[in-house]
A and B are shown apart, each in its own frame.
Chain A
Amino acid sequence: MLNRLLRPAALLAAAGAITLLASACGGSSPASSTSSAPAYPALASSPACTQLRSQNPNLAGKTLTNAINPHTPGYESISVSDPTKYEGFDVDLSEALGECLGFTVSYLPVAFDALLPTLQSGQANFIISDIYATKDRAASADFITYSKVFDGVLVAAGNPKKITGIDDSLCGTTTALNKGFVEVPLVDAQNTKCGSEGKPPAQTALFDNNADCVQAILSGRADAYINDVNTVNRFVKDQSGKLANASTLHLPYSIGIGVPKGQLPIRNAFTAALTQIQTSGLQTQLAQKWQLDKSAIQAPSLVTAS
């Protein structure tokens, strides 16, 4: 009797095993860029990169994993024409670093607030994902800066709440933000200020990715969304007539490449390769390619906890 019951269970198990095998063999893991021909031959063959490869034999020929939160078109998102690939400024930058230092890049897509834990756990080797290099975050990783930060304030077309930036105009409004973004403590600080001035609170609504934040504005659940200005402008262009950029703010941060804390060989190699990419003009070209009009290149500098 039990055998009669076990038979379908065995069939189910077999079906499960076949599924596992099929997906294991199907190679459906997304988006490791496997282009054999170098995209940046001039960079790869530059004396600086040649020398870096010989100085860092432990990187050459390896596959390094880049933790990304691929929800920011222009910086990193899947490619619409080939969704198995990631594309954007940050993706090109990490590919360029790879070519200079001789490693291949694979991508691990995680939630924004999981970027640092993923790096710390060793599941990823570095982070290039439009992440701002703050002192707080430097407690979890070392950062090599590559760009200044300008934020935009995405609002519904016509800016019905008359929002002007992270200031008293936010009192009595709700700002949609990604979990873990640096803007969260800034808006929270403004909320405290609103309270002390006897004004209604500046609330936040936290989401997992940009698309959810934009939907919050479109559906009227939030009044503003504050993020990198290039990202904001892209959303405005895509949903023209429904969205607008209320203001452009300079934040006292830089965008950085996250590497494991205290691992000097990889940190030094990345810094040197990034310097070469900037001095060769490649970073400017990439910014133009991805229409990052407000990309203000910043020479590599370290942001660490100490």
Chain B
Amino acid sequence: MGSFLHYLSMPYLLDGILITLQATALGFFGGFALGLLLAGMALSRNRVVSGVARTYSVIFRGTPLVLQLVFVFTALPHAGIVLSPIMAAGVALAANEATFFAEIFRSAVIGVDKGQTDAARAVGLRPGTVLRRIVGPQAARAAIPAIGSEAVSTMKNSALASIIAVPELTLRSNQLASATFDYFSIFFASGVMYLVLTGAITGLQLAIERTFDLSRVGKRGRGRPSEASTAPVEGTAPAAEPVTAARVNGAQVASAVSRAEAVRRARVALTITGVHKAFAEHEVLRGIDMEIRKGEVVALLGPSGSGKSTLLRLINHLETLDAGTISFDGIEVGYRDGGTALPEREVARQRVQAGVGMVFQHFNLFGHLTARENVAVPLRWVHRVPKDEALAEADRLLGRVGLSARAHALPRQLSGGQQQRVGIARALAGRPQVLLLDEPTSALDPELVQEVLEVVRSLALDEGLTMLIATHQLGFAREVADRVVFMAEGRVLEQGSPQQVLDNPQHPTAVRFLRAVHTVEV
């Protein structure tokens, strides 16, 4: 026991800790940086670049660290590269750890919901901004535990540097044991030292995890006491201000004629010509032609798999066209005049220029941002509005969808209907000319459908926004749409006023579909 304590406080071994920390720091930070690079390369669409990263991983993850240490220390000098023992250890550790860091980063990035990337692109964020503002922060959070574990692993691996003359803790313990024959006391002492060091790393990891724990972020700092969670929703939500069907229908009948006339006279906002799209062998769209006028509300109806969602995703270039053109007042999002594809940063600029916004079936809110931060995203990072102004505008828009009280809640703390209303407010923040809504109520429980439809209805009737809505809600389509388009198997089978298509369908498929939906609704 006495000699154990003697070794525990021996300056020779304590100095060894410093060298161990030095080797660990070189391996950790070098591996971290190189791992970031490798992960970026592995995720690249360029097959040569990702192939280089994969080859590197195969070699450095597939060979023992001991061999890599010896290689850097004794083989590289033959090529004229002479590194000091500590630098050789740092290089070998970093080269080895990088492969593990790369996989940690890659899986963290892949783990971020693809829908959020779609939503970020749809509001007009450039690829770099998507990475920095949306994917990066969430991936970083997800990676913290694995990074902490990798730091501990790096420290333990640094003990192997003892074989290439790095005078770190293990080498010193070995030498001391050889000189004193006091084998066990020395190794117990150095074991305790390693435990203290790795324990400190674990403590640091847990502290960082706690700092960035989203559930804490929601409650503290950015959150407010959530008395609002049980309070009735305000504004346009049905609970606060029930709108009777009779009143809406009455108003609609009175204005229907003049509205139809106005739409007919408006200029064309969106032209779709000869659009084809296939995924692998499966043809999803087989020649779609459509003109949508400014201020027109078009409801896309049709069975699942008819191509409604794909058409919407093609319109703002979340998918690429196989054939045909889609033009917003002359702007073909995603393509040059000659028809060649543009890089994603240019596409982002075009989406903003064309003024196209999108609301998704599964909301696709940014999980790490509060409701108001979600809504402020297009303002801050696309339109470069100063943060305070952007948040003030976000608050106004949240008020518009009846969610002022939940402004500081994270998406995970909101109901589906509330999330979709935030999604609509976010789409509106970019001041779109054309709003695409992809089955905005399909993922909602029945009792939450109305609150979302109410918001969309008021946008259509009060704001004069041009809208393309894929939906299964026939009553809603009848009420808000100027035109109903019925699609099946990638073609438009029938289109016309809601009365024409819904009450007097001509195509047998449309007749069958409408009867089936009516049966469900009744």
Write the residues of chain A forming the contact surface with B, with a CB cutoff of 8 angstroms.
Answer: 1-2, 4-5, 8, 12-13, 15-17, 19-20, 22-24, 26, 28-30, 70-73, 77-80, 83-84, 108-111, 114, 117-118, 120-123, 208-211, 214-215, 235, 238-239
Q: B355-382 toward A: CB 8 Å interface, digit per residue (1/0)?
A: 0000000000000110000000000000
Inter-subunit contact B179/A114 (CB<8 Å): no
Inter-subunit contact B175/A16 (CB<8 Å): no
Inter-subunit contact B78/A80 (CB<8 Å): no
Q: Which one of A26, A122, A208 contacts B15 once the chains associate, using CB atoms below 8 Å? A: A26
19 contacts between A and B (CB under 8 A): A2-B132, A2-B133, A5-B141, A8-B211, A19-B18, A19-B21, A20-B25, A20-B26, A22-B18, A70-B179, A71-B175, A72-B178, A73-B179, A77-B178, A83-B10, A120-B74, A123-B85, A215-B183, A235-B181
Which listed segment binds A: B165-173, B330-338, B413-421, B494-502? B165-173
Inter-subunit contact B369/A1 (CB<8 Å): yes
Inter-subunit contact B178/A108 (CB<8 Å): no
Inter-subunit contact A1/B179 (CB<8 Å): no
A84 CB contacts on chain B under 8 angstroms: 12
* Number of interchain pairs (Cβ within 8 Å): 126
Inter-subunit contact A5/B212 (CB<8 Å): yes
Inter-subunit contact B19/A28 (CB<8 Å): yes
Inter-subunit contact A210/B179 (CB<8 Å): no
Inter-subunit contact A78/B208 (CB<8 Å): no
A72 CB contacts on chain B under 8 angstroms: 178
A13 CB contacts on chain B under 8 angstroms: 29
List the 10 closest pairs (A to B, CB-CB), nearest first. A83-B12, A16-B25, A71-B178, A121-B77, A77-B179, A121-B74, A117-B74, A23-B22, A28-B15, A1-B137
Q: A1-B369, A5-B212, A238-B181 are in contact. Are A123 and B140 (CB under 8 A)?
A: no
Q: A2-B136, A84-B12 are in contact. Are A26 and B177 (CB under 8 A)?
A: no
Inter-subunit contact B165/A110 (CB<8 Å): yes
Inter-subunit contact B70/A114 (CB<8 Å): yes
Inter-subunit contact A118/B174 (CB<8 Å): no
Q: Which one of A20, A83, A121, A235 contacts B175 once the chains associate, using CB atoms below 8 Å? A: A83
Inter-subunit contact B137/A2 (CB<8 Å): yes
Give the distance in Å from the alpha carbon of A4 to the alpha carbon of B181 in the complex. 51
Inter-subunit contact A78/B29 (CB<8 Å): no
Inter-subunit contact A211/B181 (CB<8 Å): yes
B136 CB contacts on chain A under 8 angstroms: 2, 5
Inter-subunit contact A2/B140 (CB<8 Å): yes
Q: Is B82 at the interface (CB under 8 A from chain A)?
A: yes
- Among A13, A29, A71, which residue has the most Cβ atoms of chain B within 10 A? A29
Q: Is B263 at the interface (CB under 8 A from chain A)?
A: no
Q: B13-29 toward A: CB 8 Å interface, digit per residue (1/0)?
A: 00100110110011011
Q: Which one of B74, B179, B204 contacts A78 once the chains associate, using CB atoms below 8 Å? A: B179
Inter-subunit contact B175/A77 (CB<8 Å): yes
- Among B132, B140, B175, which residue has the most Cβ atoms of chain A within 10 A? B175
Inter-subunit contact A110/B164 (CB<8 Å): yes
User: Shortest Cβ distance from B490 into chain A, in angstroms?
Assistant: 41
B19 CB contacts on chain A under 8 angstroms: 23, 28
Inter-subunit contact A20/B165 (CB<8 Å): no
Q: Is B180 at the interface (CB under 8 A from chain A)?
A: yes
Inter-subunit contact A71/B369 (CB<8 Å): no
User: Shortest Cβ distance from A202 into chain B, in angstroms?
Assistant: 26
B28 CB contacts on chain A under 8 angstroms: 16
User: Shortest Cβ distance from A212 into chain B, in angstroms?
Assistant: 8
Inter-subunit contact B29/A16 (CB<8 Å): yes
Inter-subunit contact A117/B70 (CB<8 Å): yes
Give the distance in Å from the alpha carbon of A77 to the alpha carbon of B86 in the complex. 21
A1 CB contacts on chain B under 8 angstroms: 133, 137, 368-369
B183 CB contacts on chain A under 8 angstroms: 211, 215
A118 CB contacts on chain B under 8 angstroms: 73-74, 165
Give the distance in Å from the alpha carbon of A111 to the alpha carbon of B179 in the complex. 15
Inter-subunit contact A122/B82 (CB<8 Å): yes
Within 8 A of A (CB), among B70-112: 70, 73-78, 82, 85-86
Within 8 A of A (CB), among B150-186: 163-165, 167, 171-172, 174-181, 183
Inter-subunit contact B140/A210 (CB<8 Å): no
Inter-subunit contact A123/B74 (CB<8 Å): yes
User: Shortest Cβ distance from B56 into chain A, in angstroms?
Assistant: 23
Give the distance in Å from the alpha carbon of A238 to the alpha carbon of B18 in the complex. 32
- Among B10, B74, B78, B86, which residue has the most Cβ atoms of chain A within 10 A? B74
A215 CB contacts on chain B under 8 angstroms: 183
Inter-subunit contact A83/B211 (CB<8 Å): no
Give the distance in Å from the alpha carbon of A19 to the alpha carbon of B204 in the complex. 16
B171 CB contacts on chain A under 8 angstroms: 109
Inter-subunit contact A210/B73 (CB<8 Å): no
B29 CB contacts on chain A under 8 angstroms: 12-13, 16
Within 8 A of A (CB), among B346-402: 368-369
Q: A209-B178, A211-B177, A239-B181 are in contact. Are A121 and B21 (CB under 8 A)?
A: no
Q: Which one of A16, A28, A211 contacts B18 once the chains associate, using CB atoms below 8 Å? A: A28
B137 CB contacts on chain A under 8 angstroms: 1-2, 5
B369 CB contacts on chain A under 8 angstroms: 1
Give the distance in Å from the alpha carbon of A29 to the alpha carbon of B70 in the complex. 20
Within 8 A of A (CB), among B52-74: 70, 73-74
- Closest B residue to A118 by CB, please name it: B74
A79 CB contacts on chain B under 8 angstroms: 179
Inter-subunit contact B165/A109 (CB<8 Å): yes
- Closest A residue to B26 by CB, please name it: A20
A235 CB contacts on chain B under 8 angstroms: 181
Q: B116-149 toward A: CB 8 Å interface, digit per residue (1/0)?
A: 0000000000000000110011001100000000
Give the distance in Å from the alpha carbon of A4 to the alpha carbon of B133 in the complex. 11
Give the distance in Å from the alpha carbon of A80 to the alpha carbon of B181 in the complex. 11
B70 CB contacts on chain A under 8 angstroms: 114, 117
Q: Which one of A8, A12, A23, A214 contacts B21 once the chains associate, using CB atoms below 8 Å? A: A23
Inter-subunit contact B78/A108 (CB<8 Å): no
Give the distance in Å from the alpha carbon of A23 to the alpha carbon of B166 in the complex. 12
A210 CB contacts on chain B under 8 angstroms: 178
Inter-subunit contact B175/A29 (CB<8 Å): no
Q: B201-218 toward A: CB 8 Å interface, digit per residue (1/0)?
A: 000100010011000000
